[in-house]
């Protein structure tokens, strides 16, 4: 067994330093900001400089306060960036998943990008997730893996991820609520929390059973991060359970914009 796999199996995670090119991560971060900038322009009438991060993030906070629905939808569109999906299929990631024991990795759910700041959340648990295991929301293979990395250098101040090493071996913990992501009560857990620290390019691979939580972002900046999730199609219990999928993804029946589009708008598109 490779030493990487051995350490992963023991600890429930591996943090690979300098794993992805900084330029690749920086480009994805910048593209995400550009998508927000289009809606900041529409909502606030402001042209923001996406390369001036502090002032751009202040504009994001104003956009969040001005039009929450558009903000939430923009955040979701960012998760549909082709570049982000391409990264999720990068052979550096899939080869590492194989090295960790996933013989046939498959994507568990679309990539997620998070923008953690208390200025971008209506509820505390939206910017600061309590102790949980991702397996409860994914319910995939028992060797399901989560890949987590920030798009900016992130340590304790920015609230980078905190983990409980070796907690993956205890199986599925009870959880108090199933709203959004349930929280595991403190009394069920040891207090061996480890605060992780990341440079841009560092990538964490962890078992979907590893207990983890958000750190506390005590800064005025946004903690930008990405999560990718994978299952193993060759894991025996996953096959036995008929490959269940816990994520529901469906279109909405009603028209979002009533009486839209006008024929003249169609002609403009196709003339």
Ligand X SMILES: O=C(O)CCC(=O)C(=O)O
- Residue number with CB closer to ligand X (114 or 184): 114
Q: How far is the CB of 57 from ligand X (least distance, A)?
A: 17
Tell me which of Fe ion, ligand X, none is bound by residue 188, counting a contact when its beta carbon lies within the kind-specific cut-off of 5 to 8 angstroms: none
Q: Minimal CA–CA distance to 113: which of 33, 23, 229, 225? A: 225
Say whether residue 214 binds ligand X (CB under 6 A): yes
Say whether residue 143 binds Fe ion (CB under 5 A): no
When binding is defined by CB under 6 A, the residue of 11, 134, 143, 202 that contacts ligand X is 134
Q: How far is the CB of 258 from ligand X (least distance, A)?
A: 34
Q: Is 269 exposed, middle or buried (0-12, 13-18, 19+ CB in 10 A)?
A: exposed
79-98: which residues touch ligand X (CB under 6 A)?
A: none
Give the pair of three-digit tokens for residue 101: 């024991």
Q: How far is the CB of 227 from ligand X (least distance, A)?
A: 5
CB-based contact 114:215 (threshold 8 Å): no
CB-based contact 270:263 (threshold 8 Å): no
104-133: which residues touch ligand X (CB under 6 A)?
A: 114, 116, 129
CA distances from 239 to 142, 168, 232, 244, 249 (A): 11, 21, 9, 9, 22
Strand residue runs (E) in 83-222: 105-116, 145-150, 162-163, 194-195, 203-207, 212-213
CA distances from 87 to 83, 105, 121, 183, 226 (A): 6, 15, 27, 30, 10
Give the pair of three-digit tokens for residue 79: 């998760």
When binding is defined by CB under 5 A, the residue of 57, 134, 202, 235 that contacts Fe ion is 134
Q: Please count the other Cβ atoms lying within 10 Å of the Cβ belonging to residue 9.
A: 16
φ, ψ for residue 197 (rounded to 5)? Answer: -130, 135
Could you give the string, one character per residue 19-58, with x where binding to Fe ion holds by CB under 5 A and - elsewhere? ----------------------------------------
Tell me which of Fe ion, ligand X, none is bound by residue 70, counting a contact when its beta carbon lies within the kind-specific cut-off of 5 to 8 angstroms: none
Could you give the string, one character per residue 176-205, with x where binding to ligand X holds by CB under 6 A and - elsewhere? -----x------------------------
Q: How far is the CB of 79 from ligand X (least distance, A)?
A: 12
- Residue number with CB closer to Fe ion (57 or 134): 134
Number of residues lying near ligand X (CB under 6 A): 10
- Summarize as ranges the residues that interact with ligand X (CB under 6 A): 114, 116, 129, 134, 161, 181, 212, 214, 225, 227
């Amino acid at each position: 067994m490779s030493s990487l796999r051995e350490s992963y199996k023991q600890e429930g995670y591996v943090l690979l330093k300098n794993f992805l090119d900084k330029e690749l991560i920086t480009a994805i971060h910048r593209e995400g900001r550009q998508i927000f900038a289009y809606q900041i322009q529409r909502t606030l009438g402001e042209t923001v400089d996406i390369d001036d991060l502090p002032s751009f993030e202040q504009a994001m906070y104003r956009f969040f306060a001005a039009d929450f629905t558009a903000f939430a939808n923009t955040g979701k569109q960012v998760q549909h960036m082709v570049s982000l999906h391409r990264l999720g299929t990068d052979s550096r990631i899939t080869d590492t998943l194989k090295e960790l024991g996933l013989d046939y990795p498959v994507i568990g759910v679309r990539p997620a990008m998070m923008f953690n700041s208390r200025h971008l959340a209506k509820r505390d648990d939206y910017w600061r997730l309590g102790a949980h295991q991702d397996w409860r929301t994914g319910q995939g293979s028992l060797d399901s893996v989560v890949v987590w990395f920030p798009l900016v250098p992130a340590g304790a101040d920015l609230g980078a991820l905190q983990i409980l090493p070796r907690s993956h071996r205890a199986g599925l913990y009870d959880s108090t609520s199933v709203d959004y992501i349930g929280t595991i009560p403190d009394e069920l857990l040891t207090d061996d929390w480890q605060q992780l620290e990341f440079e841009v390019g560092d990538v964490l691979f962890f078992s979907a059973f590893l207990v983890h939580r958000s750190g506390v972002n005590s800064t005025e900046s946004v903690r930008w991060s990405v999560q990718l999730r994978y299952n193993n199609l060759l894991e025996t219990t996953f096959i036995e359970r008929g490959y269940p999928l816990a994520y529901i993804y469906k279109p909405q029946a009603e028209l979002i914009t009533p009486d839209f589009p006008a024929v003249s708008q169609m002609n403009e598109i196709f003339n």
